[in-house]
A = this chain, B = another copy of it.
C-alpha cells in the first residue's frame, strides 16, 4: 500500500464516489487537480455545492430543475398533448439530444422492481395518473428500457393510460441502425421480426 498524506487520501477516496472511477483514475484526477489545475479544482467544488443547493426536482415532471422553472414543462411543450414517460433524467436528455420530440415528459426515477422494493409509489405513478387525467394529455409515449423491469413498467403505465382513455404508444425496438442482422442478438432480431411494419406502396 502507498502512503498518501491524509487529505490527499481523502480526496482520492472521495473521487472514487464518482461513477466509473477506480483507484487509479481517482489518484490521477487528484494529482492532476493539485498539480496542474487548482483553479479547475475549486471550480468543481463550487459547482457541486451550487448544484446541490439549487437543483431540485420539478413537481410536475420530476426532472431536475432550478427555482421552480422547469425547462421541460414550458407551456409550448403542452401543445402537442403528448407525454413521454422515461426511467431516468439521462434517458430524457438522450431523447432531447437525438430526436425532434419537444413535448412533455414524466421521469419515473426508476422502474418497477419488487425485489428492490420499488413499487408504483416510489415511481410517483399516482402523480402520473393525475397528469394523465387533468393535463390535456392525448398520447402517452412509453420510452422505458427494453429490460425485464422496463417492460413490466411499460405494461403498468400502458394499463393506466388505457384506463384514462388515452392513446398509448411505445418506442420501437429492433435492429439498431448500422447493425448487421448476422451479429444482432437473437431476442432483438425476434422482436424486430414480430414487430415488422407494413411499407407504403
Residues of A within 8 A of B (CB): 1-8, 10-11, 13-15, 17-20, 25, 27-35, 37-38, 40-52, 54-55, 64-66, 69, 71, 88-90, 93, 96-97, 109
Contact = CB atoms under 8 A, between A and B. Distances in A.
Contacts of A29: 18-20
A23 B96 CA distance: 15
Contacts of A90: 27-28, 31
B48 A8 contact: no
Closest 9 CB pairs of A and B: A17-B40, A14-B47, A45-B48, A11-B51, A45-B45, A2-B97, A11-B47, A5-B66, A14-B44
A30 B1 contact: no
A89 B55 CA distance: 36
Contacts of A41: 17, 48, 51-52
A18 B3 CA distance: 23
Contact of A42 (B8, B43, B52, B88): B52
A28 to B, nearest CB: 6
B25 A20 contact: yes
Copies of the polypeptide in the assembly: 2
A19 B38 CA distance: 13
Contact of A17 (B43, B54, B71): B43
Contact of A43 (B3, B14, B20, B93): B14
Contacts of A38: 52
A74 to B, nearest CB: 10
Given A32-B19, A35-B88, A64-B34, A14 B2 contact: no
Contacts of A47: 7, 10-11, 13-15
A65 B25 CA distance: 20
Nearest to A10: B47
Contact of A51 (B8, B32, B52, B96): B8
A162 to B, nearest CB: 30
B31 A55 contact: no
